[in-house]
Amino acid sequence: MDLGVGTRVYLTEIQTVSMIADNPGINITNLAEIMGVTRGAISQTVQKLAKKNLITRSRERNKKEINLGITPIGKKARDEFNSRMKDIFTFAEDLYNEASEDDRLVAKRLFDAIYQNLRAKI
């Protein structure tokens, strides 16, 4: 997606940037654990994010551990993503608040069916 930082940023990447922003100085092992992925997967994502100048890598705490932070470009991408998510959820909330009770029940049945379908397949 285009977050106005001059490069395409994928959902997994912006989620990783957000996690790093929420945990400054986090290392790759801890980031992988928090995100529920392997160290190898997070290492590849971190490499891509560094090339896109969205994050920083440093060895602050010890020579074996790589610590992560976000760059001003990474902060800009995260802020833009958060703004868009807020707009989406505000729009959805407004639709819900303006809907009739019957429309809300239809929507609830639809989402319940989708949820049950997903649970059955996972």
At 8-26, the pLDDT tens digits run: 999 999 999 999 999 999 9
Q: What is the tens place of the pLDDT at every residue in 49-86? A: 999 999 999 887 677 888 999 999 999 999 999 999 89
Task: Count the domains in the chain.
Answer: 1
Q: How many CA atoms lie within 13 A of 6 on its CB side?
A: 8
Give the angle 57-60-63 at the CA atoms, nearest 5°.
95
Provide the CATH number for the domain around residue 83. Answer: 1.10.10.10
Whole-number Å distance between alpha carbons of 35 and 16? 8
- Does the pTM exceed 0.85? no
- pLDDT averaged over every residue in the chain: 92
- Which residues form the domain of 111? 1-122
Find where tokens 């100048």 sit.
Answer: 53
Handedness of CA 78, 79, 82, 88 (dihedral sign): negative
Give the angle 78-79-82 at the CA atoms, nearest 5°.
85
